[in-house]
């Protein structure tokens, strides 16, 4: 029996508040073996019945949603009300929406010579590796379509936020057959071992681009299927006709939600020079008024950064902007208290070479960048190795939609950003990833195509 464990830190204090069992490589072997053993029966279970299991999981989560939200808020740092009404509610909605999906059988030809059908079949054992920003919701995004498609799953949450995922799996396992869904907690080495493991057929990964590359390399010798949802550095472009008082609240929410720790948050805000100062001041006022604090205080709107490394990075990016002459209209320095607190920060007068513009900040610091001409703004927005999301803000929907299509990214929004739908594909281009999640498009990534050709 392995008794090793690791500490889980409360980001609001910086102190350990719980211990989590640490899985060994030997346990990975026995867990993958259990998932393989469970696979044939689960794959042969009719999809309607697998869907009923997903609905039963949603019902089970619903009965535990308050305690799950408390655990999530404690280990991740987000305010309790956003953990409950935001992340857990979305996890329920996504589980139920996924349960309604049915992969089609395509009929390509049916004539005197042949009938050609295209069927979709499960892949086998899916490894899921998740990050620390939305540990319950992203686990649901991986697990539910994988299970619906007829695969079995081994999930490894981030070692920063393992507890809410382990709890989610425990709840789901009240209704699932043994071995169908398994969880192991550990650090990157365990994830790397999963990406190399010959008993795993696919890896679905959400996290940084660097780790995605390492997983791809690890998976190469065994030719695993891969879905990689990687980093983003999304640009939003605000056109000169955008009504500032109308768009400011939404832009603010879409940049700072989850304290900026969202893959598809607005991370670079290009604003036409005519309205730049007005929008900057509006956003700065909102940032100054925002309540940053521990997740368990009712008045808190924004929690701390989730971990020390991310906190240090945000401090460095602010420092770099300062040395380059950046003007801080709100925030700019860490709060003088325990935990990983950084205030909501608006910085202007930096150019595109500043680290806070070039790098994904993944934290509550938003650079505003002045532009003169929209072609120039689009070129600057697209001059990034990332391509997750992007947006155009304008009173003219027709013009904005035309410009949105010129953004080099997986999702382009008009007068919105980072709003996802369980039916619309979501994924990155360029270094933001390979493949998509959600809807039939995402479900297809958990299945292989089989052509059946019947000669006549
Ligand atoms: P990370 O890459 O550091 O870690 C993610 C997971 O990978 C963790 O479980 C970690 O333990 C594991 N891991 C680390 N090294 C590994 C290795 N060599 N092999 C296999 N697994 C390994 O990412 P993070 O810091 O947890 O998350 C933040 C990043 O995730 C940001 O870049 C963010 O943009 C990205 N993200 C992307 C999406 C998306 O949908 N595109 C969504 C959320 C977050």
Say if ligand 1 is within 6 A of residue 301 CB.
Answer: no
Q: How far is the CA of 129 from the centre of ligand 1 (A)?
A: 8
Q: From the CB of 428, is ligand 1 less than 6 Å away? A: yes
Residues near 394 by Cβ (< 8 Å), separated by ≥ 6?
A: 238, 239, 241, 242, 400, 403, 414, 415
Q: What is the pTM of this model?
A: 0.98
| Residue 229 annotated to the active site | yes
Residue pair 248/279 in contact (Cβ under 8 Å)? The answer is yes
Residue 370 phi/psi, 5-degree rounding, is -80, 140
Mutate to test the pocket of ligand 1, among 87, 94, 208, 308 (most ligand atoms within 8 A of CB): 208
Q: Could you give the residue ranges of the DSSP H alpha helices within 80-122? A: 80-82, 89-99
Euclidean distance between CA atoms 360 and 350, whole angstroms: 15
Report, in angstroms and rounded to the nearest whole number, the Rg of the chain calculated over CA atoms.
23
The count of C-alpha atoms lying within 13 angstroms of the C-alpha of 140, restricted to the half-sphere facing its C-beta, is: 27
- Selection from 377, 422, 414 nearest residue 398 by Cα: 414
257 Cβ below 6 A of ligand 1: no
Which residue's CA is minimally distant from atom 19 of ligand 1?
A: 192
User: Residue 302 C-alpha to ligand 1 middle, in angstroms?
Assistant: 22
What does the pLDDT profile of the chain (456 residues) look like in tens digits?
457 999 999 999 999 999 999 999 999 999 999 999 999 999 999 999 999 999 999 999 999 999 999 999 999 999 999 999 999 999 999 999 999 999 999 999 999 999 999 999 999 999 999 999 999 999 999 999 999 999 999 999 999 999 999 999 999 999 999 999 999 999 999 999 999 999 999 999 999 999 999 999 999 999 999 999 999 999 999 999 999 999 999 999 999 999 999 999 999 999 999 999 999 999 999 999 999 999 999 999 999 999 999 999 999 999 999 999 999 999 999 999 999 999 999 999 999 999 999 999 999 999 999 999 999 999 999 999 999 999 999 999 999 999 999 999 999 999 999 999 999 999 999 999 999 999 999 999 999 999 999 999
Whether 186 lines ligand 1, by a CB cut-off of 6 Å, is: no
Which residue's structure tokens are 């900026």?
Answer: 260
Residue 409 appears among annotated catalytic residues: no
Q: Give the domains, in start order, of the chain with CATH numbers.
A: 5-230+430-455 (3.40.605.10), 235-414 (3.40.309.10)
Task: Let me know if 49 is exposed, middle or buried by CB neighbors in 10 A (0-12, 13-18, 19+).
Answer: exposed
| Cβ-based neighbour number of residue 397 at 10 Å | 12
E-state strands within 277-357: 327-330, 345-348
Catalytic pick from 20, 75, 263, 360?
A: 263
Q: How far apart are CA 437 and CA 444, in angstroms?
A: 9
Question: Is the Cβ atom of 360 under 6 angstroms away from ligand 1?
Answer: yes
Alpha carbon of residue 157 to chain centroid: 13
Picking from 367, 371, 373, 404, the residue whose alpha carbon sits closest to that of residue 389 is 404
């Amino acid at each position: 029996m392995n008794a090793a464990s690791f500490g889980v830190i409360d980001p609001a204090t910086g102190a350990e508040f719980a211990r989590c069992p640490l899985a060994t490589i030997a346990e990975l072997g026995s867990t993958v073996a259990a998932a393989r053993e469970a696979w044939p029966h689960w794959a042969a279970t009719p999809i309607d019945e697998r869907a009923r299991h997903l609905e039963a999981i949603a019902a089970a989560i619903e009965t535990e949603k308050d305690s799950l939200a408390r655990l999530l808020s404690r280990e991740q740092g987000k305010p309790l009300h956003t953990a409950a009404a935001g992340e857990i509610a979305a996890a329920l909605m996504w589980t139920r929406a996924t349960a309604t999906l049915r992969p089609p059988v395509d009929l390509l030809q049916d004539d005197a010579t042949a009938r050609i059908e295209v069927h979709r079949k499960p892949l086998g054992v899916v490894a899921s590796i998740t990050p620390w920003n939305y540990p319950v919701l992203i686990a649901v995004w991986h697990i539910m379509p994988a299970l619906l498609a007829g695969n079995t799953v081994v999930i490894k949450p981030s070692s920063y936020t393992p507890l809410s995922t382990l709890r989610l799996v425990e709840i789901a396992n009240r209704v699932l057959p043994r071995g169908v869904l398994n969880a192991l907690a550990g650090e990157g080495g365990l994830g790397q071992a999963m990406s190399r493991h010959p008993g795993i057929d696919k890896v679905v990964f959400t996290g940084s681009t660097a780790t995605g590359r390492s997983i791809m390399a690890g998976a190469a010798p065994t030719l695993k299927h891969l879905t990689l949802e990687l980093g983003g550095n999304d640009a939003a472009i605000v056109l000169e006709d955008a009504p500032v008082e109308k768009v400011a609240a939404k832009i603010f929410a879409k940049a700072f939600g989850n304290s900026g720790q969202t893959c598809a948050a607005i991370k670079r805000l290009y604003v036409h020079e005519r309205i730049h100062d007005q929008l900057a001041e509006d956003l700065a006022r909102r940032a100054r008024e925002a309540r940053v604090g521990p997740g368990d205080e009712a008045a808190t709107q924004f929690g701390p950064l989730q971990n020390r490394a991310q906190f240090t990075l945000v401090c460095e990016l602010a420092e770099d902007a300062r040395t380059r002459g950046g003007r801080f209209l709100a925030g700019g320095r860490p709060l003088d208290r325990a935990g990983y607190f950084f205030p909501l920060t608006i910085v202007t007068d930096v150019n595109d070479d500043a680290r806070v513009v070039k790098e994904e900040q993944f934290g509550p610091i938003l650079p505003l960048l002045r532009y003169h001409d929209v072609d120039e703004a689009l070129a600057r927005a697209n001059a990034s190795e990332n391509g997750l999301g992007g947006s155009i803000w304008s009173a003219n929907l027709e013009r904005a939609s035309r410009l949105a299509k010129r953004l080099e990214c997986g999702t382009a929004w008009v007068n919105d950003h980072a709003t996802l739908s369980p039916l619309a594909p979501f994924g990155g281009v360029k270094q933001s990833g390979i493949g998509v999640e959600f809807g039939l498009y995402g479900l297809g990534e958990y299945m292989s195509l089989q052509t059946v050709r019947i000669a006549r």
